[in-house]
Chains A and B, each alone.
Chain A
């Protein structure tokens, strides 16, 4: 039985189907929560909140649909509610000021192995993501990990499409400001088209 079938059953009150879905997705929910909250303890609490909410929220799921995208939106909203209630608007403790991130990512100079593995680039992405707001990280997750269009994100998060569009665009611009140098350092711009898509 696939996830959509399980979600359909769960939305009709089948507790075994819901339990199976939770078992299959709890690590994934935690991962999404961590990408937004950036702290392990917060991500655990958000995951617990999502699982608790699912018992009632699943009744609103319309099958057949996109269960994973639906669950990502539920997680994103839970993450933001958690961060807002906890008053954790500031970046996590390990985040560094914008100018330091920019400087760090403008002058990579790692050893050859780090360069090969793109380790420095990953560190820069992590620091750049920490520079965004939780809302921007949540919207980016839905846009770039779930490939949802702006209108879908707005509908699922119950916020205006214009707000999603603006937040997304500002997040893009911030990421480009922070990551353009390091991106060019590791992957010099190609002279000819090797690939046409991501």
Chain B
């Protein structure tokens, strides 16, 4: 199997070091910060203003909220199988 750009753990991928985030990636980063309540009051206000004024933006943000919730629930759920070392 060919190596992917992400195969090495600690060595920075030269593409990652120079490449900017796409518009979609920036939106998802911002929306995550919004739903995790990590934005500053000013950032939050601007994000909410855009949600109010742009239905498409709002729909995307709301859909991302559902996905984030589902992923967080999956991460927090018990894993199958058992472990007992002690």
A165-B6 contact, Cβ under 8 Å, with A125-B71, A189-B63: no
Nearest CB of chain A from residue B86's CB, rounded to whole Å? 5
Interface 9-residue window, one of A23-31, A57-65, A95-103: A23-31
Among B9, B21, B28, B74, the residue within 8 A (CB) of A84 is B9
* Residues of chain A at interface, number, CB under 8 A: 66
Confirm or deny: A7 has a beta carbon within 8 angstroms of a beta carbon on chain B: no
User: 8 Å CB contacts to B: which residues of A74-115?
Assistant: 77, 80-81, 84, 89-90
The 8 A CB mask of B1-37 against A (1 = contact, 0 = none) is 1011011111011001101011011101100100111
Confirm or deny: A11 has a beta carbon within 8 angstroms of a beta carbon on chain B: no
Which residues of chain A are within 8 angstroms of B4 by Cβ–Cβ distance?
Answer: 89, 133
A183-B85 contact, Cβ under 8 Å, with A163-B13, A163-B16, A169-B25: no
Roughly how many angstroms separate A48 CA and B86 CA in the complex, as a whole number? 11
* Residues of chain B at interface, number, CB under 8 A: 50
Which residues of chain B are within 8 angstroms of A165 by Cβ–Cβ distance?
Answer: 21, 29
Which residues of chain A are within 8 angstroms of B62 by Cβ–Cβ distance?
Answer: 189-190
Whether the Cβ atoms of A198 and B71 lie closer than 8 Å is: no
Residue of B nearest to A121 (CB): B70
The 8 A CB mask of B54-86 against A (1 = contact, 0 = none) is 000011001111111111111110111101111
Whether the Cβ atoms of A176 and B67 lie closer than 8 Å is: yes
Whether the Cβ atoms of A89 and B79 lie closer than 8 Å is: no
Residue of B nearest to A142 (CB): B75
Whether the Cβ atoms of A198 and B12 lie closer than 8 Å is: no
Among B24, B68, B78, the residue within 8 A (CB) of A144 is B68
Q: A residues engaging B (CB < 8 A)?
A: 19, 22-23, 26-27, 29-31, 33-35, 40, 43-44, 47-48, 51, 77, 80-81, 84, 89-90, 118, 121-122, 125-126, 129, 133, 135-136, 140-141, 143-145, 147, 149, 157-160, 162-163, 165-170, 172-173, 175-176, 179-180, 183-184, 186-187, 189-190, 196-198
Contacts A80-B9, A122-B74 known; list 19 others, CB within 8 Å.
A22-B85, A26-B83, A26-B84, A31-B79, A40-B79, A44-B83, A51-B85, A84-B8, A118-B70, A125-B74, A135-B9, A145-B76, A159-B12, A169-B28, A169-B29, A172-B29, A176-B64, A183-B67, A197-B36
10 A-B residue contacts at CB 8 Å? A22-B86, A30-B83, A34-B79, A40-B80, A133-B4, A145-B75, A176-B64, A183-B66, A196-B37, A198-B72
